[in-house]
Structures are given as structure tokens and as C-alpha cells.
Chains A and B, each alone.
Chain A
């Protein structure tokens, strides 16, 4: 059916042409737009993240030293410190301070376990109006869920490999 392939082909070609023309225009525009986008100071952000992250970890270390000097083992002390830090992160989020800490500290406030606690409390609090089950219960894990999933999956894969090798 040669008669039918002709027009079909041209329309396909035209479609392709229009598509790449649009893509070209979009890319051309993105180059213009990029020039106007202000860039954050990477140096200042990094310094703030270093100081904030360092400070949070130093507080945790001070707690650790205090607790281990009270006669707990390293493992016990680590667990207690983690629990206290999670409490602090959750509490500071509840009273509305942690987002301001993160505004300055950036990753320095997100990466420590206090930031993990924040990622649980913030959505849970926000979606409380949707109820205690599907609001708080479900939304608590919007960020914490993926963290648990990938942490557990990775550790089990590592464990399976280690088990086979042993």
C-alpha cells in the first residue's frame, strides 16, 4: 500500500521535526534563564553545614561521655545517646525551632539523626488534621520510610552475601 505510506511518513517526520524544534527552543531558553538564576554561596553553606553538623555531633559525644562515665557500656551508651538525640530533634521540631536551625545549618541539620526525627515529626504534625491514623500514622514515614527501607534492604543484602561467603 505505497499510497498510504507517503502521507504517514511526512506527518511522522513533521512531528519529529516539531518535537526537536520545541526541544531546541526550550534548551535555548534554559540557557538564557540560567544566567539570571542567583547562586547560593557554596562556601558559606558548606561552612554552616560543617559547624552545625559538628556542633550536633559534639553535643551527642558529650552526652556519650557523660553516660559512659556513669558505668554504661559503649553499646548501651550509644543507644541512649541516639534516643536522647531523637527526642531533641523531635521536640525542637514540635516547638517550631528545627526548621530555623536547618535554614542556617542546611545538611548540618538534616543529616544527623535529629534531622531524621524532624523528617518524622514535620509531616506527622502537618497532616494531623487528616486524622490520627492516615494523617499522623501514615505521614510520619514520608521521608523516614524510604530511609528505613533502603537501610534495611542494604543491610540484608550485605548480610546474605556475608552469610554465603562464610
Chain B
């Protein structure tokens, strides 16, 4: 009776691939000076975004991203079946507040910086499973709220190491729907990542912690689907940064896969080297705004036919870091295609 849509060990093959109907991206001033500035819907003038605290600003970023995606498609929050959202702050508080304002039935998710891709996978599952017609996946992050929670107060005198990454300020939202609702790139496959603990401990070097998880998922995806790296116009990770990307290429190479040609990272794309972020961008919003902005634009303009996006997340807590525990990481992959 049941048609099982899972292929291989970790991959879901969608029978009726959900369509990405609309996306929105909204960023802070530093991201607005970066190379992708023309792909965002809105660039805030300052990190406070007119609010009295950074935490409130992050909440507003998320709310606004969802509102923009609704407006673009001329929908109201009543038209949406579910909101899947998450962020980096303790108990995903930004998402909880945004959801309470928006009033859409809400699943709160935590996958650290991989949350956007976790949300896209679950949204697609809900839609292909027949449980929903329209689902919004959204995430946010904020440089100052993350620094304060995970590292140092922003004005503290510290020297960031060269492996450090810069948490992207902003939010991205994606409206997915059943295939009958319109044209657009579709989600064909999703490979759910395994949490991989490679023994990394340095909270200022997330690239090293996350690269093995990203490669683990990429390999699982290729094995499960029988596809090759070359079948994709672009394989793009969420926020490995320059350090993590170069480790990932070597790890893939050890396992017999060549990632050196069509493999990039959202964290590398979003900032110029001159912006002094060291290893690149990070945070939930990093993969969210690049996917919802730059990548979707390229897909809609048919610059790419088929991409594989891998949201990467470092699954640590402040307490685990203080106790010098290792940092497990995860990568969730989604294949998005023009059909």
C-alpha cells in the first residue's frame, strides 16, 4: 500500500517534487557591502534594524523575511499551512517570537547553521506527503547576538584567529508549494545528514569541525542517488568557509570524489576578502540568504540547471565548549533543479 520514497541509506526521493514558489533574503549592512549585494531583497542600514537590542533586531529580520516572501507571492499568513523556522539563539528564541507575530502554525527547528536546509527538507516532506500545500522555511542569524552568546562581547579586546568566521546578519525565507501552484525550481532529492563528531574542539574554527559532516552527506547523496559530482552545475555548502572548503576537497579526494571543479561555499561567496572576515561567513542566515538570493536567482535565470546545496551546522552549546567537549557537526543536502 505504502510507496516508500526513501532511496539508499539517507536519501529521500520526492515523488511530486515540491516547487520553490518564492524566496526572500534580507541582510545587514556588512553583507550589503559584499559581492552578493544585488541579490538580496533588502539591506538594513544598521545592525539594530531600528530596534533597541540586537536580539530584537534578529527577530525583526526573520519576521520581515517571511513578510517579504508573502508579499511577493501576494499571500497572507492565513494561506500558509506551516512555518518551519530556527535560529542560533538559546531555545531558538528569535524564531519563537517571529512565529508568535506571524501566527502561522509553527515547527521550531534547531540544526545550528544547517537549519535552513533542515527546514527545506521537512517542508518538502510535508508537501510531498500531502500534509500541506504551502510551507515556509525560514532562518535568521545576527553577528552580534551570536558573538555575545557563543564567544565574546562585541567590544571586548580580542584578536580573532584566521580560522574564525563572521556570523551573517540577516534572514532568508523560502515558500515551497505543491507542483500545481506554479513554475519554479523544484526539490528533487534530500539527503539527511548524520551527526559526525570528528573530534574538533576549537570554537573559532568551525570549518574544521563541519567539513567531515559535509563530505559524509555529499558522498551519501551520490551513492544513494547514483549521481556523480559532475551531474551538478554547482555543489555548494552552507558555511564551511575557506578553511572548511579546502579540507572538504581533500576529504572527498581521499574517498575518490573530485570536488575541486564545481564546489563552492556560501560563506566564501557572501563576503569579499577585503571585508576582513577571515575564513568567511557563517550562521543560519549565511546559507539561507545565499540560497534564497544568489542561488535562486541563478536557477531562475537558468544559469544553473541543477544544484546540490548542503546546509552545514556545528552542533555545539556554550556549556559544551566551556567544558572543552568535541564539536559534532551535520550536513543536510538538497538537490534543486529546473525541470
Question: What CA separation (Å) do A165 and B153 show in the bound complex?
Answer: 45
Interface size class of A (residues with CB under 8 A): 35 or more
The reply on A77 being an interface residue by CB < 8 A is no
Find out whether the CB atom of B243 lies under 8 angstroms from the CB atom of A38.
yes
Find out whether the CB atom of B162 lies under 8 angstroms from the CB atom of A40.
yes
Find out whether the CB atom of A29 lies under 8 angstroms from the CB atom of B243.
no
Interface size class of B (residues with CB under 8 A): 20 to 34
Q: A22, A25, A123: which contacts B156 (Cβ < 8 A)?
A: A123
- Contact flags A1-42 to B (C-beta < 8 A → 1, else 0): 000000000000000000000110111011011011111100
Minimal Cβ-Cβ distance residue in B for A117? B157
The reply on A64 being an interface residue by CB < 8 A is no
* Interface of chain A, main secondary structure: helix
CB-CB under 8 A for A26 and B197, given A37-B208, A40-B162:
yes
Find out whether the CB atom of B157 lies under 8 angstroms from the CB atom of A32.
no
Find out whether the CB atom of A96 lies under 8 angstroms from the CB atom of B198.
no
Question: What CA separation (Å) do A38 and B279 show in the bound complex?
Answer: 9
In this complex, the member of A36, A121, A129 whose beta carbon has the largest number of chain B beta carbons within 10 angstroms is A36
CB-CB under 8 A for A126 and B198, given A40-B161, A102-B158:
no
CB-CB under 8 A for A36 and B157, given A26-B199, A30-B200, A126-B148:
no
The reply on B36 being an interface residue by CB < 8 A is no
Q: B198, B205, B326: which contacts A37 (Cβ < 8 A)?
A: B205
On chain A, the residues within 8 Å of B152 by CB distance are 122
Find out whether the CB atom of B161 lies under 8 angstroms from the CB atom of A110.
no
14 interchain pairs, CB-CB under 8 A = A22-B197, A25-B199, A32-B254, A37-B162, A38-B243, A40-B161, A40-B162, A45-B159, A93-B157, A106-B159, A118-B157, A123-B153, A126-B153, A127-B153
